[in-house]
A and B are shown apart, each in its own frame.
Chain A
Amino acid sequence: MAHLPENADEIRGRVPAVLESYAFIRDNVLRDGVVDPALKELCFRYLAEDPETTDFDRFEGRERLALDWAHAIAWDADAADDALWDRLHAEFSEQELVDLGCAIGFELGQQHWRRTVGLAARDEPAQAARS
C-alpha cells in the first residue's frame, strides 16, 4: 500500500520544484535525447526487473551493450571495466554515452523512490502515457 496517496506525479506535485525538476528530466532525457528512446526503455525495463529483459543472450549489438552497462550502473560498477568501455566506445558516441548513462541513473533513482513510497517501480504503460 502506498505510504503517500495518489500517483507518482501527484506526490511529486506536493513540492512544485520536485515535480518541475522531474518533468524536465522526463521530457528531455528519459523520453528524448540523442539515444533512441526505445533503447532507453529497454534499460528501464531491465532496472525494474522485467523478466523479458533479464536473459541478456536474447540481445545483441547496442541493446546488449546498453543492458550490460545498465547492469553495471545498478548493481556492479566493477563490471564497467576497460573491456566494456572499449565496446561502448565502439558502438556509441561520447554524447550518446552521456545521454544514455544519465538516463539510466535518473530512472534508477526514480524507481527506488517510487518503491520507497509504496508504488510499483514503473507505471503500467497506459498510466505512463498519461503522466
Chain B
Amino acid sequence: MALLYTSMLVWNPEGADDALWARLRQHFTDEQIVELGSFVCLTYGQQRVIKTWGVGHGELLADTTAGLAPSKVES
C-alpha cells in the first residue's frame, strides 16, 4: 500500500480516490498517512531538482551518512 500511495503522490494525485483512501486506512492511521505522504513528497521534490543537477546516487557526500540509505551508498 505504501508503494501504491507513493505512485499516486508522484504520478497521479487526482487518482487517489475514495477507494484508495479506504484501502490506505485499512493499513495506516490518518497520522501515518499524513507523515508518509509528506515524506514522499519532500523526497520527490528534491529528487527532481537533483536530477537536473546531473548528480547520481552517492556522488555527493558519499563519505558521510547524509542521505536516506547509507548501506546503499556503501554497496
* Alpha-carbon distance A54/B42, docked complex (angstroms): 24
Residue B72, interface by CB 8 Å: no
Interface secondary structure of A, over-half rule: helix
Q: Given the complex, which residues of B lie within 8 Å of A104, measured CB to CB?
A: 45, 49
Interface secondary structure of B, over-half rule: helix
Query: A3 to B52, Cβ gap below 8 A?
Result: no
Give the size category of B's interface with A.
20 to 34
With A3-B21, A101-B49 already in contact, 7 other A-B pairs whose C-beta atoms are closer than 8 Å: A104-B49, A105-B46, A109-B41, A113-B37, A115-B13, A116-B16, A117-B16
**Sample (9) of A-B pairs whose CB atoms are under 8 Å apart:** A14-B34, A72-B52, A73-B48, A107-B45, A109-B44, A109-B46, A113-B13, A115-B13, A118-B16
For chain A, the count of residues having a C-beta within 8 Å of the partner chain is 31
Q: Which of A72, A107, A109 has the most CB of B within 10 A?
A: A109
Query: B18 to A109, Cβ gap below 8 A?
Result: no
Query: B13 to A22, Cβ gap below 8 A?
Result: no
* Alpha-carbon distance A107/B44, docked complex (angstroms): 11
Q: With A3-B16, A116-B9 in contact, is A101–B34 under 8 Å at CB?
A: no
Query: B37 to A117, Cβ gap below 8 A?
Result: yes
The chain B residues found within 8 Å of chain A, CB to CB, are 8-10, 13-14, 16, 18, 21, 30-31, 33-35, 37-38, 40-49, 51-54
Contact string, A102-131, partner B, CB cutoff 8 A, digits 1/0?
101111111011011110000000000000
Q: 8 Å CB contacts to B: which residues of A36-87?
A: 69, 72-74, 77, 80
